[in-house]
Every structure is written in C-alpha cells, then in structure tokens.
Structure 1
C-alpha cells in the first residue's frame, strides 16, 4: 500500500518532502485503526483519526489539514475512490496570525552575530526574500551577477520566479562559488561530481549532472547516498545547519522576538512596503499566488489603524 502511495506521488511529480509526509500520515492512520485496509474504512474513521489528533495530540490546524490531505490523496489518487463523503470532510480553520517581523536594527544585530556561510545564507533570505529551502537549493546557474537577479527554481507550488540579487552580496557570493568550485573539482577527480537533477533531466542529458552550472551554491561538507537511488553524490547543505545558526545568533543578539529563518523573509516584504514599493511588485518577488497573501504585511506597518492619528491626539 505505501509503495503504491510513493509510486503515485512520484508519478505526479510531487516533492520528496510531500511524499515523506503523506506516507507518514497514511501509516499512522492504518496503525490507529488496527492495521485495517483503508478500502474497508471511510469518513467515520477519518473523522475519528483527525479528532484524536486534535484532542489527544493537540496538533495545530495546519497539521490536521496536512493529515487530511494525505488521506484524501490515498483515497482519490491511490485507491481511486470518489465518494460524496470525501467532499463532506471539513478542514480545520487556521487562525489568522500576524507574522513576526524584525526592525532594520534587529536584522542588523542578528546578521552581526553570524559569520561565514551562515551569514551569507541568512543575508540572502533577507536580501532576496527567499524561503529557507529555496536558499539551500540554489544552483550556480540561477545567479545572474550582471543583472543582479536570482532565479528561484521550483519554489512553493513548483513555480519559478525572479527576484533581486543584492549587489552588496556579489563579492561574498563569488567567494562562495570559488569554494564550491574547488569542492566540485575534487569530487570530479575522485570519480564523483554529479548532483541530483529534477524532472528526469539526468536521463535526457547524461552529462548535465556533472556540469558546473548545475552544482549547488551551498554544497554539503560530505557526500551522501541518495535515498531514492542509492547513488553517492554531494547534496546541498542541510537546512538545519542554518536554522541552528540563526537560533544561536538570535540568542546572542538578545532578540526577544521568536525570530527564525522565515522571519527574515517576512522582514524583507515589510521593509519593502515601508520603502514605498507596491503590493503587486512584492507579491511577484515573494512568489505569492494571491495578492491577499501579501496584504498581511500591511498589518504590521505603521498603516491602517496604527497609521491613523487618534482624535484624542488631535485634541
């Protein structure tokens, strides 16, 4: 059953992390129901499973919805079940929360506590509005120094987008590329030097995986075996490395706000709004599907209720 799920996920070109999440939730669902086959179960079992997650597990609405998406995928895409009760299951309502945003001084303090690769990656999160995984997955060919542009390939939702490349990072990025090039040359000399390519490009272009342009800007320190194919090659830097570095930097900088890597992306959008750039432009830079998603940053500016002068102050 789980192999069928994996095969269907890969057939539809879904992300590896989505595959891991879906397989995990489906396994938990089957175990929670005494290892019964999903074809023997239906809406009552799904509702009970989600309720136990909320009541006993205390999981968030987004986690409940992820579990529901996994189960709906199982029934619709794997088992081929199209029953009315599938549409009748309601998703948990997500609470509307404002994003955590750092001031420019707080961003400077946070970056000031970082150094080396961690500083460069965190600077890209803030300077280009990247998501964490978009940063660690950057390839050499995605950087255009002459145009000060950066292309995000297969971002959230599998979409590509163009964003800015801060000119102040051109020098540090060139130095990082020089180091990555040295690592790549050593791998080639050792009989390796190939990276994972998306969309079966490795079959279509057998030598592309060894090309310099396809190499990661932030390569891992050691080679590892690909869990899907068992091939030993060098992957990108593990995202947890940057997450831990930012967490330590936040503590050293004395920041009270619960700042994470994603907070730098929120700060990027908010500071652009403060500088007078329009929502549509920021939406394109962030890669939001709907401008309504971008509008949430207007609530953390000195606009709206906070930008209006109180009548008491006028009096």
Structure 2
C-alpha cells in the first residue's frame, strides 16, 4: 500500500568476505587414512596429485606417462593448464611414493597415467565420483576436487612461501605470462583454524 520504502536509505551491513574452502590438517589426515584403508593405490595417487601438487581435474585426466619424471630423490609433473599455459610442478616424496606404488601394479598399455576398469583414460566425471565417494565415507561435507586444489594453495601460503612461487605452482598467469599474484591472494584468506592459531599464539599459558 505504501508507494515508497521508508527504510530504503538504510544501508545494509557489509557481508563477510567469501573465504576459500580448504581442508584442515585434521581433515586431510582423516581423508588420507580412509583412502589408504581402502588399499586402492590409484585412488591414493589421484588424491595426492590434487592435494600435494594442485592439479585441476581435467589436468589430472589428461596426464600422459611422459608428463611425469621421477627418480629416487626428485620428481616433477608437466601440465598443460588453462589457456594452454604450461607449468612444471615438483613432486614431493609423498606424491612420488604414491605414484610409484600405483605404477608398480599397473599392467595395461594405456599411455595415460590414470585409467579406469572400462577405459584407458579416467574421465573427469570418474574423478569427481571418486572424490564424492570419499566425501560420503569421511563425512567431510565440503570435500570436492576443487577443495583439494585449494588446500594445496592454502598450505603453500601457510608454510610461508612467496606469492609468486605459489602463483606459478597453481598455474595462475596473466596474459603476458607473468604470475597473477592477485588471483593467488584468495589463498591468503584465513580460515577458522588459522584464526584460532593466531589467537593461541599470544596466549601466556
């Protein structure tokens, strides 16, 4: 019945900045224990490449055997990312161990790193289904493929790594090929675990 809104001039309080979702160390451990418990080496290697190397789902599915190089002490994965922007991500000992165990049980001739029972190449939907299965098993509500990648970025920042390094490892580049630090800044947004640690850091007891 009223033509004008009498409260239209009142400004709404600013909404909280959207935070990126990642897994805390406790949830990471719970997830990896569950995957290991299933004794599926392909699943474990898949999780590790997203969680410890930050691969996107389609990057994971497109990986070919020559894309990964490993020795006893070092390793790396070559990735053709978004917009054909290539990057090389070093593989830590955890990832190398997971991949080596998986390779040792492989008996097929597929050129792809990850295969399924029915195909020589694991599909994007196949990886998503795999992660959804472990989400149900662990009851980690926000567990997705993207969450695993975000966890990699957040953990790199939390460990004190330089933003340029993180941008390069995540495959965040500008059109001119330089690291896109602005895009990487999302991983600097603290989660509740980070805020808790910050408060605890000034405790006298």
- The alignment's TM-score, normalised by the length of structure 1, stands at 0.49
Contact 1:274 1:301 in 2 (8 A): no
Matched, 1:121 2:5: no
- State which of 75, 86, 91 in structure 2 corresponds to 1:148: 75
Q: What does residue range 33-52 of structure 1 map to in structure 2 within 5 Å? A: none
- State which of 159, 172, 176 in structure 1 corresponds to 2:85: 159
1:205 is matched with none
Q: RMSD of the alignment, in Å?
A: 2.7
Kindly name which structure, 1 or 2, has the bigger radius of gyration based on alpha carbons: 1
1:275 is matched with 159
Matched, 1:99 2:26: no
For residue 242 of structure 1, report the CA deviation from its aligned partner.
2.2
- Give CA deviations for 1:259-284 in whole Å, capped at 9, x if unaligned: 20110110111111111111110000
As a proportion of its length, which structure holds more helix?
A: 1
Q: What does residue range 79-90 of structure 1 map to in structure 2 within 5 Å? A: none
Contact 1:270 1:301 in 2 (8 A): no
**Matches of 2:101 and 2:147, distance apart in 1:** 26
User: SS of 1:129's equivalent?
Assistant: coil
User: SS of 1:277's equivalent?
Assistant: coil
2:137 is matched with 252
Contact 2:172 2:181 in 1 (8 A): yes
- Give CA deviations for 1:109-153 in whole Å, capped at 9, x if unaligned: 12222241122101110011111111121111111213321111x
1:216 is matched with 112
User: SS of 1:183's equivalent?
Assistant: coil
- The alignment's TM-score, normalised by the length of structure 2, stands at 0.73
For residue 171 of structure 1, report the CA deviation from its aligned partner.
3.4
**Matches of 2:118 and 2:152, distance apart in 1:** 32
2:182 is matched with 292
Contact 2:44 2:98 in 1 (8 A): no
**Matches of 1:133 and 1:260, distance apart in 2:** 14
**Matches of 1:103 and 1:272, distance apart in 2:** 13
For residue 251 of structure 1, report the CA deviation from its aligned partner.
2.4
Report the CA distance shift for 1:139/1:253 in structure 2 as closer, same or farther (over 3 A): same
